Structure 1
Amino acid sequence: MKKSTFLQEDLRFLAQVLQEQLRAEVPSGEFFRVKCVVKNDKMMILTQHPQGVATDTEEVFDLLTEVLLAIPSHQEQDVELYLRIAGVKLPYAKRSLTVVPNGNMASSTPSIAADFVEVPEETPQTTEQETDFSATSPLIFADDALVENYDPMADMPETSVTYNPPGKYRGILGAGILALVVLMGTGTYLLTRPCVLSGCKQLQDAQELQRQLQQKSGSLKSEKELSGLEKRLTEVGEELKVIPAWSPSGGEAATLAANLSEQAQIINQVQQALKAGSVAIEKSQAPAKNLQDLQSRQQMWRQAIAPLEAVKPNSPAYDLIQPKLAVYRVGLQAINQQLQTEERWLQKLAAAQKVAQAATQREGTAKTLQDWQRVQFTWQIAVNALSPIPQTSSAYPEAQRLLTEYKPKLSVNRDRATRELLAAKTYNQAISAAAQARTYGEQKQWQKAVVYWNQALTSIKQVTPGSIYANQSQNLLDSYSTSLRQAEEQLQMATVQQKNQTDLEKTCSGTVRICNYTIDERGIIVNITPEYEQTLAANINAAKTQNDATTFNSVTNHLQILQQALEVISDNANLPLVVYDAQGQQIHQHMP
């Protein structure tokens, strides 16, 4: 059983060589596309061209066969050649052949057992011309000999291979094709490409650079060396790009180029990060002007840190960037703290402005003591929020401007609240004193009533003009003055009455009670006591019996003195006097 020994890149290279040969040898060859695949140990080569391109089928098959004959082979290989129109599923021509190994390509030609089969034109016409192969237009063969309708192009990418040969066969096809190109003399352009026939210096340089990078991990000592490494990586990567993808070194060159490009990009990102870090350090020497400035610096630190943190320990730049990374992290931490502090001050500034707006609104609607106290308290909150903002904050200038506006308003409203508080206190004292005066007046305690009416009147006069209690106080002023005058009159009357009672009591008192009395607004009534009458009668009888004129005169004088004393009391009280004896008979009357 034959085994195919083709590598993926070999098939791709073979397809490119066949396509180049068609381009060079066949009229309109630039429109031909070739694809090679291996399935079930059979090589299938599909060539397609757009509809309308004139094609000599035998010329195309002969050219393709000639190329295949020129390839040295170590084993038999079944090959099927197909021709089709782009966009049409069925090929319109096919050739089958078997390549028999014969040792040396240059000195011998392998024998070929070939048959040529023309496929009838039963293909439907397409409305779309394709210039490349795709899974949407697979080959469908009517011939049962074509591996039971197997489509060599369907469901397989251009470079698909189903068999991976052992290491000893690597490069057999590629080397054979190169020899073929030399013999045919039509591949001058291909042979002059780097790494096709001659040694591959570009690849060797790249391999050496990659080896150095792996051996000297973390060896860079300065940013200058870092820049030099990036330049070297870029140069070597550019050199690798000139190696054709279809050359024997194309696959490895592409892999190395991608790897070096990735490392160059990392080094470039590190350099950009170091530049950003330098700018951030320079910026941090001066105080930030505002919140946006702080945020910009924070972004710089992050741009400097993120690429450096992504550098792996095996990178040549790893050891170089670690001290820088530590400095940048400290810088970011510091700027984060400044941002938090600055945002807090800005929040206080904004809050103070909102509180001031509320204070202004309350000031316009304040009507009571509690309202004015709330106004004062609100302005105090606004001032207290602005006062702590330091000079280092970008909010400081605005805070100072607002303080020059808010502090006078706080002072004015504090004075207003104080005046209202004093007015309320004085007004309430007046109300309380008046209530107490009324109570004492009801109790006929006119002395105390007069004292409290005086207090009430004094307090009501002291209520601050223009305060919320001023009008109410003015209304009470006349009422309190009248009440005080009336209380004073009652006190005067009470005082006189008290004196009259005292005089009457003094007059009526003695060893023997002389009289009893009542006094009111109608007059004074005096009743002589029976005891006093009896005493007088006894003294008069004794004086008559003893013919004692002195005693008799003394009794008579006492009665006159009593009458005079009672009349004086009546005159002082301005009240009529009526005197009754013990039997209730009126014995004296006096009108003041």
Structure 2
Amino acid sequence: MIKTAVGENLDYTTLKREFHEIISRDFEHLDRVEIDCFQEDNYLVILISENIPELLDRIKDILTGYQIIDNFIIRNINDKEIIYYDSIDNSSEDIKRSNYYNSQNFSVGFIISILGVLSLGIVGIFYYFTRPCVLGECTVIAETKTLILEDFKENTQDLNQENIKSLQVTLIEGINELKRIPSWSKSHKEATSAIVKYQEDVKQLDNLLQALQLENNSKSLTNNLPLSLDEWTRVKDFWQESIDLINTLTIESLQNFKQEKLNLYQSQLTIAQTNIDKEKQAEENLIQAQNLAQQIETQQKEITNLTDLENIEQSWQTAIKQIESIEPLTKAYQEKESILNNYLVNLIEIQKRIAYEKNAVNQKKQAEKTINLALDSQKNNQWTKAVSYWENALNEVKKIPTETFIASESKTLENNITKQLDKAKLELKQAIVRQEIKAELETICNQTELKCNYSIDNNSIKIFLNQEYLQKISTLSNLNSLTNNDAQKQQVNTHIEQVEKNYQYLSQKYKMLVEVYNPQRQLIMIYNTPF
């Protein structure tokens, strides 16, 4: 079986079949080419009768596709000395000289194996004795400790975040140096103990960095006074967490620095708590004032007369006094000015409303007088006057302020006036249209003789033809038939066509149904223009 990189072994029969399929499919002109494959001394040997570069490339592609990991060689099927390709890049001359059935391969391999073992042994012995602190006196530990102590002495004079990070780098470098001491060294135990200590120092310096960062956070927040209760609580938590972190610091050379920071942090923690208490009191005063304002706003919704307005006015004055009692240097005090201005605005609005109420009543009375005039005009079918009065009444009622006691009544009145105005406008428009239609019909029916009578409503025009007029048309038609007077006949037809056009014209212009009746009041024609 042939080994592949994907873990699936490939048999020689399958591989040979692949080769033959390639030849029969893509190299039909090479029907005499012979090909075989087998294993020989850990080589996959492929025999081929002719050196055809295109075929060799296809064979290598197949082997690549199967990810074959065995070394392979392609040579002539008749002469094994003729080699076309070797996967490990051996030259043709090398392979020619090699005898894959010769036992010398075993001897060479054995010698190489012995040399490899000896080399590994020499390297191992060299590695064992050249590691730090294996031979002679161990100076690495002392040198590392000295270097770290000197770095701490230098950087603790003016300790800041940058210096602390520098100390951590020194500690980590020292730890890495001590880790080079192997387990077979007599100093390994001492090195391990130092590593544990320095790792703990790195962790403590991390805590110190966090404490300093929290200190900066607290200072950053308190640079923008006043703060809210939540913000002061965060500041307090920052200081408390800083105290907890710096208390973990046991490095001897940093104890003075630790104590200075503890004194500062404890002092700031007390200040933060004082401000929390002060902020709570200010916030309580603010809430009380706001609650009173909410009560006033609720009472405003139930106002029904002028006395109620005066009571609300006095309540706003009380709320304003409570807002003024808020202490300075608090977050609530920062809101004091805007809230106070708002309450003053509300007080002024109440005072304005008293004047509005009186004005509203007068406006309503004036609107009611105008309404009565409009109704009288409608009774007399004086639609032009009625529309004018309704428009005046609408303008007057719209002047009534919407925040007055009679706002609801005025809105209802406004809606009724609007409906009456729309109705009056429609009646006026229809009256104008009827007047226009009447003038048109007067021309059509009575211009030279009485041709018809008519009636007009909002939806239709009814035309009643005159008996004498119809008799005249009939007589002329009969006479023209007897005399064959074409000119007279054409004149009658033209007249009839014009009459029909007149009726159609009325229907189109006014978008109304035109009904034509005979003298016996029977419907004989309808003109209905779609619209």
**TM-score (norm: length of structure 2):** 0.35
Larger Rg: 1
In the superposition, the TM-score normalised over structure 1's length comes to: 0.32
Higher RCO, Cα 8 Å, sep 6+? 1
